[in-house]
Every structure is written in structure tokens, then in C-alpha cells.
Homo-oligomer: A and B are copies of this chain.
Amino acid sequence: MVRVGVIGTGMIGQDHIRRMTQVLAGVRVAAVTDVDASVAAAVAEKVGATAHATGEDLVADPEVDAIVVCSWGPTHEQYVLASIAAGKPVFCEKPLATTQEACLRIVEAEVAHGSRLVQVGYMRRYDAAYRALKKVVDSGELGAPLMMHCAHRNASVPPHYTKDMAITDTAVHEIDMVRWMFGEEIAAARVLVPRRSANGGELQDPLFLVLEMASGALVDVEISVNIRYGYDIRGEVVGESGTAALGELSPISVRAAGRFATPVPLDWRERFLAAYDVEFQEWIASIAGGGAPVGPSAWDGYAAAVVSDAAVAALDSGDRVAVVLAEKPKLYLEATS
């Protein structure tokens, strides 16, 4: 039974607490903390956990075997570093940290520690459809992968959503996913700017992100965040002799009112609910009994940050921007799952 401490009991934190108490085997929420102590106290009481005043206290709690960080982004670095310092496994929701420099500090701290402790919450790697897609790509059935066409569509975004967030909040999922799907780094980014949708007001939406992989493979991502009709995540890998794509995924189809139709998910919760369960299930299994996590690593979090920075620069300049990564430490040479 892994005893987990959760830092940050907002919407996502509470959802992970529900997952660890009501859904999954082998785990118990032993401690919580939040910037709002009254929320932390209420949650703690509900699940029978200890409420701590600070994240550092929670990390230090001997009843806590592993940490889940769901707090505000700018605080991620300090809690992940504290967990590493304590030698405890830490699952950090994306982003790993809010700057590539901070991500690199985490990488360096983990390298200094000497073994993996950090896992970053890129849940697409746990989605059944992406996993089936990767299995076909890895089988060689399509020949070498040459391109991937993606679309990331949201029905709508809140008013505070900015142009940069289309990269850093939205397409960052594709950025992590293609590194994993292709098993290689991203070498450069461009962003092309299509005609603007009136649905988003002044926001530049959609965007068209083009990523060059180290092998030369090209990945294009349509990012449409006010498309109204639903939440739709699509991806097709084009190989030398065939292609493979995410399926339509609807459990049913309906023939009514002149059409043969399948429903589209309303939002990401509906689309990726099962992926979050699998993500935590595998994380818990990997660290139970003192093991190291095998999911997205601190390096993956760092690389996503560097590529996001390049893509934002590309969006601002209109140019192709190269991705410049630090040298990859040996600790991360094995592929993550």
C-alpha cells in the first residue's frame, strides 16, 4: 500500500485524490496540503489524511512514501526539488516547471540523486488509442514513420486564454506525445497562422504548428480552441507504406433525423478519463516496494519546455526556430513508457 501525499487540493488534486481512494488498488492518501489551509483540512478529514501546513512539511512526513504535486505551476519546482532531496518518488502534474531553466535544475538534481524519482503528468501516453497507434508504428508494419497529422480541438476556452497558451497549455500534449511516439527529439518548430475564427474574438485561433523531428519526420498540429462542436483529438502517422490513425472511439452510433452519427466528447475529461486511471495505476505499481517510475521523466518535462519555448518564439517571429537541448544525461537514455 503506497502512502501518497498530495500537494494542492484544487480541482485536479481532488480528482486524483478521488482516483486514489475510490478507484485504484494499492494506494492510500496519507497527507494533503494546500495554499488554502481550510480546503486542505476539509479534504483531509474526508479521506482520513493528515493536513500539513506546507508542502515541505508534507514531503518530510514519514507517513508519506510518495508525493503528487498538483499545486499552482510556479510552485512545482520547489516541491519537486524537495521530494528529490528527500529521496521520495514524486508525480508532478504538467508542467514540470514554468521555465526550461527550472526544469533543467530538476533534471540536474535528479541526476545528482542518481536514479529516477520524478514522473510528469503527460497522460496521453496512457491512452488506449495512442498506445495502440504506437504499437502499430513500432511494429514496422507501416515502414519508417515520415509524417504525423494531428488536430487538437477544444469546443471553447475561457476569456483569459492567450495565444501563447495554444502552445504551452494545449499543443504541449502533442509535443510530449510525438517525442514518445517517434522515439526521438524535436529539432525545430514553426507556427503558421491561418485566417482567424470569429468564435474566439481577438484571440488568434486556429494555429498550425509544424514540428521537425530529429530524423526529418514532420509533424503538423492544427490547434483550434473555439471550434464549438466538441473536444476532438486526432492523429494519423504516415509511414512509408501505410498510415495509422486514432479511431473514432464512440461506443455507439445513432441513425436519426437524416443522419448516421456518433457522438463527439464534450471535453478532455470525457476523452481521457481512463488514461488518468491507467497513468496512476502504472505509477503506483512502478514505485510500490521502492521501485523507480518508468513514465514521462524530468527529461521529458524539460524537453517539452524547451520545445514550447521554441514554438512560442516561432509564433512571435514567423520563423523556423531550432530546438536546442542540453546534453541528455545517461539516466534518461532508456525510453520512457
Contact = CB atoms under 8 A, between A and B. Distances in A.
Contact of A252 (B129, B147, B151, B238): B129
B238 A257 contact: no
A244 B252 contact: yes
B254 A242 contact: yes
Interface stretch (A104-112, A167-175, A259-267, A309-317): A259-267
When all copies of this chain in the complex are counted, the total is 4
Most buried by B among A131, A241, A285: A241
A24 B27 CA distance: 10
Interface string A100-121: 0000000000000000000000
B228 A242 contact: yes
Interface string A227-254: 1111010000010111111111111111
Listed from nearest, the 10 A-B pairs whose CB atoms lie closest are A242-B256, A195-B216, A129-B251, A261-B261, A228-B241, A194-B218, A259-B261, A197-B240, A132-B251, A132-B252
Interface of A: 20-27, 128-129, 131-133, 136, 141-144, 146-147, 149, 151, 192-199, 206, 208, 210, 213, 215-218, 220, 222, 224, 226-230, 232, 238, 240-264, 266, 274, 281, 285
